[in-house]
Amino acid sequence: MADRSPVITGLGVISALGSGIDDIWSAMVAGQSGLKPLTLFQSTRYGQIPVGEITHDLAELGAPLHGSRSDKLAWLAARDAIRSANLDTRSAADRTGVLLGSSVGGTHDTERFLTTLIKHGKVLARPTRFHECSAPVDLVAESFGLFGPSFAISTACSSGAIAIATAAELIQSGQADVMLAGGADSLSHTTWAGFHSLLLVDMQGGCKPFDAARGGMSFGEGAAVLIIEAEEHARKRGATILARLTGWGASCDAHHVTAPHPEGAGALAAMQGALRRAQLAPTHIGYVNAHGTGTRDNDVAEAKALKSLFGANVPPFSSTKRFFGHTLAASGAIEAVVCIEALRRQQLPANPGFSEIDPAIGLSPLTKMRSEELTHVMSNSFGFGGNNAALIFSTADTVPQTRPTPSNHTSVTGLGIIAPEKHSVSERAIQPPLPPDSIKVRACAPFDAATLTPNQRRRLSRITQMAILAARRSHAADPSKRLAVAVGTGFGCLDEGAIFIENLITKDEAEPMPTRFPGSVHNAPAGQVAIDLGARGLNSAPTMGEISFESALWQAINQIAIGEADEALAGGVDELNKYALSIGKRWGFWNEQTIPGEAAVVANLSGASANKPSLARVTAVRLGRYRRPFDAKREADWIAAAVDLSKVNVMVSGAKGWSELDAPYNAVVEELSRHTGRALTHQTYKQDCGEFYSASAIGFSVAVELARQQQCSVLLYTLSLRGGKALCCIEP
Amino acid sequence: MPIATTELKAKIIESLNLQDVTPELIQDDAPLFGAGLGLDSIDALELVVMLEKHFGIVIKDIEEGRPAFKSVRTLADFIDARRSH
């Protein structure tokens, strides 16, 4: 398997400290900081304190005119990464995917829409077109003509690192040869007010990671993209290998939504996981780029984890957050670039802002940049929901360790579903500040929350409660099992986010909402499911429009396949929300056929050793992007390459939702029927559950049921309006 | 005039959305955090918002509020002390 080892052949980065790694490194050598007074928006309550804001005109740098601020940052980093890798994207197009972390997405632009609406009563919805955290991935994939597996990861501040780890897994599993992987997040008033509401921000605007007098984080924005390739692919095209990605580990504290585990247990597990994968001992690590946000609790917990892992020999470490500000979903990717460059230059970056050791930490980070022989370095990233990731990069001349061949037998051993009743349609009144309206919806019936704990009932939003209940229905808790969780969502916790931003704009930063802010992130459902079930494996919240569920399914199954989990939950959740309803109607999305819906579906997946009654087996999951104009023959070939069509009797599709996709779906059924010489049955599900991004999770449950009843293989095939596609084969 | 603990309890219940809890169920000297009501660090932040909204008391560092959040009594004393400044 050595030839499928992930190697880094290119990188692109844009940040407040500079664009491009050479500029950034010079600034780091000179000890400069990217932090300067905030100008992107006005903050009456907290003031224009220093942040890592990119003040260049993004269009002048070459960014596309359309798209959110995050989209543009992602595009610039992707362009530079492709250039630096000397990658001919056309020749590798079908085997090249895009995996980016994003937690802000288009929020900065959505705020403009909401401000105009709330303050002036005008509906100018255009800026919300790029609201989704998946928009940067769509833009990059479409703009550079990439058709491999692509989705976004939205696990708050660990997003960038989880995206890089997942990209490596896609390459190792043979799903792609090349991945553009990283993260992008712009500044936004929402995240600004949110972190302030949690009292996590250094009000002097100069974060001091690990220092005794540290007062919190400083904000930043930016993007970084790595070109990760299978080694055989890089060698064949004669690419320069900058470094290897030899280890990665992910874990969940399953402890608290915002507070890290006090002993850093999850952070330790992620670092141990990365070492295990790289087959390295702690003594091999020559440098650690710490998460080091400069908040009181993070730095203490991280230091404890470092001491648990390395004992008395903690390697030189530093947090580079004061250079860039905390760039949230981009931070793991930007710091990965810093680590790769540290290996290339054999230099360890300093930890600006540190001057005095904190007795509660008992460790001193690097105060000055220094030269040292380096072979293996580690980068830590932690996020809300106790979401932890660690990456290990090694010099190009190291020999990567092989891993046992993964198993690929995965059974569906439970399904939990909260969905609208079949054929139920109700009218939903649209509330202010939107103009009054009434829209037909397929809504879930009120569910019984009595089994939830008092804290879950009073604090969690409806979508997160739905996810917890669906997860419980799917899963018989067994503490001896290592459990991973991936809950896909298209729009995330829209209601919670909307209430937070409405309050922010209406009250001009007064009366902040510290409970709602962490409840509004895309990984709130996945994180709360983990807390509820004690799931300490990978915790992911992939998002990619209509293939959000399949993205989660791939991640969940792969955790079992590579031996990182005994069982895994794959979910899809989305909720009806007045803004999505009202703007969707304005844009002509909703009609007699296309009725908005919602659901929470969680599938419990088990490996071969689980010894549990199986509902069905999942024998293939593939992700990618289709070409325009849509080519049904090409799609049928893609499906035939992954699935034994001779056993497939039924195709379950997302037709009868967006009417534009009906013709493509029908054409693929026809093409597959021609291919097999038998008429395939075309089963749809959106007529029952309505249209929403993670609706294919309902399709999955339909496919499992059909495979059981008819004792045949069932193909689940899903297209997204923005170019994504997914297939899943389910067998009895 | 010192703040009545009953009034304060009502404010706590409202700001933390404590369903099924009435002011009579909260004892003046019982610990607010940990076992009793099951409150945690996020609730402390909500109490910070409540103090500013209803009493005009601004807390910028959660450590500053920590001794005050021990019980309803300590919180009432804290409010009285801050308001008499």
C-beta atoms of B20 and A513 within 8 A: no
| Mean pLDDT estimate for chain B | 91
Counting runs of H as helices and runs of E as strands, what totals does chain B give?
4, 0
Q: What domain range includes position B62?
A: 5-83
In a domain, A16, yes or no: yes
Tokens matching residue A426 = 């109700």
In a domain, A35, yes or no: yes
Q: How far apart are CA B84 and CA A672, in angstroms?
A: 80
Q: How many CB atoms lie within 10 A of CB A351?
A: 27
Tokens matching residue A96 = 């090249």
Please check whether residue A199 touches B, CB under 8 A.
Answer: yes
Mean pLDDT of A626-635: 98
| Mean pLDDT estimate for chain A | 96
Would you state the pLDDT for residue A404?
60
In a domain, A187, yes or no: yes
CA distances to A541, A576, A651, B6, B44 from A579, in Å: 22, 9, 33, 39, 31
**Choosing among A204, A258, A298, A455, which should be mutated to test the B contact, i.e. which has the most B CBs within 10 A?**
A455
In a domain, A553, yes or no: yes
Would you state the pLDDT for residue B34?
81
Per-residue confidence at B3, pLDDT binned at 50, 70, 90?
Answer: confident
Among A334, A364, A394, the domain-final residue is: A394
What is the Cα A162 distance to its own chain's centre?
A: 7
Q: How far apart are CA B19 and CA A99, in angstroms?
A: 42
Closest of A175, A248, A185, A328 to residue A8, by C-alpha: A248
| CATH number of the domain enclosing A161 | 3.40.47.10
Residues A311 and A183 in one domain: yes
Residues A268 and A302 in one domain: yes
In a domain, A2, yes or no: no
Residues A308 and A423 in one domain: no
Three-state SS across A636-661?
HHHHHHHCCHHHEEEEEECCCCCHHH
Among A360, A394, A428, the domain-final residue is: A394
Q: How many CB atoms lie within 10 A of CB A587?
A: 12
Q: What is the pLDDT of residues A408-455, one digit of tens each?
A: 679 999 999 999 998 899 999 999 999 999 999 999 999 999 999 999
Tokens matching residue A231 = 């080694």
C-beta atoms of B45 and A259 within 8 A: no
Among A394, A427, A460, the domain-final residue is: A394
Least Cα separation, residue A508 to chain B (angstroms): 14
In a domain, A405, yes or no: no
Residue A512: list chain B partners with CB under 8 A: 49
Mean pLDDT of A546-563: 97
Tell me whether 0.85 is exceeded by the ipTM. Answer: yes
Residues A253 and A380 in one domain: yes
Q: What is the pLDDT of residues B68-77, one digit of tens each?
A: 999 999 999 9
Residues A604 and A629 in one domain: no
Q: Which residue of B has its CA nearest to A513?
A: B46
Residue B19: list chain A partners with CB under 8 A: 454, 457-458
- In chain B, the number of structural domains is 1
Smallest Cβ–Cβ distance between A258 and the set B18, B20, B42 belongs to: B42
Residues A30 and A84 in one domain: yes
- In chain A, the number of structural domains is 3
Residues A553 and A621 in one domain: no
Q: At CB < 8 Å, which residues of chain B contact A?
A: 16-20, 38, 40-43, 45-46, 48-49, 52-53, 59-62
Enter the DSSP assignment of A588. Answer: T
Residue A68 makes CB contacts below 8 A (sequence gap 6+) with A105, A106, A107, A108, A109, A127, A130, A131, A135, A136, A186
Residues A352 and A481 in one domain: no
Smallest Cβ–Cβ distance between A514 and the set B17, B45, B60 belongs to: B45
Residue B18: list chain A partners with CB under 8 A: 458
C-beta atoms of B49 and A459 within 8 A: no
C-beta atoms of A199 and B61 within 8 A: yes
Mean pLDDT of A230-255: 97
Q: Which residue of A has its CA nearest to B60?
A: A199
| CATH number of the domain enclosing B57 | 1.10.1200.10
Residue B60: list chain A partners with CB under 8 A: 199, 203
Residue B61: list chain A partners with CB under 8 A: 199, 215
In a domain, A207, yes or no: yes
Greatest alpha-carbon span in chain A = 75
Name the amino acid, one letter, at A403: R
Backbone region of residue A109 per phi and psi (left: phi > 0; alpha: psi in -120 to 50; beta: other values) = alpha
Q: What domain range includes position A628?
A: 617-731
Would you state the pLDDT for residue A405?
59
Mean pLDDT of A284-309: 97
C-beta atoms of A197 and B45 within 8 A: yes
Residues A532 and A676 in one domain: no
Residues A611 and A621 in one domain: no
Residues A577 and A547 in one domain: yes
Residues A543 and A634 in one domain: no
Would you state the pLDDT for residue A290?
98
Per-residue confidence at A1, pLDDT binned at 50, 70, 90?
Answer: very low
Enter the DSSP assignment of A374. Answer: -
Q: What is the pLDDT of residues B21-52, one digit of tens each?
A: 999 999 999 999 987 788 999 999 999 999 99
Residue B50: list chain A partners with CB under 8 A: none
Q: What is the pLDDT of residues A444-465, one digit of tens each?
A: 999 999 999 999 999 999 999 9
**Chain A, chain B: beta-carbon pairs less than 8 Å apart:** 45
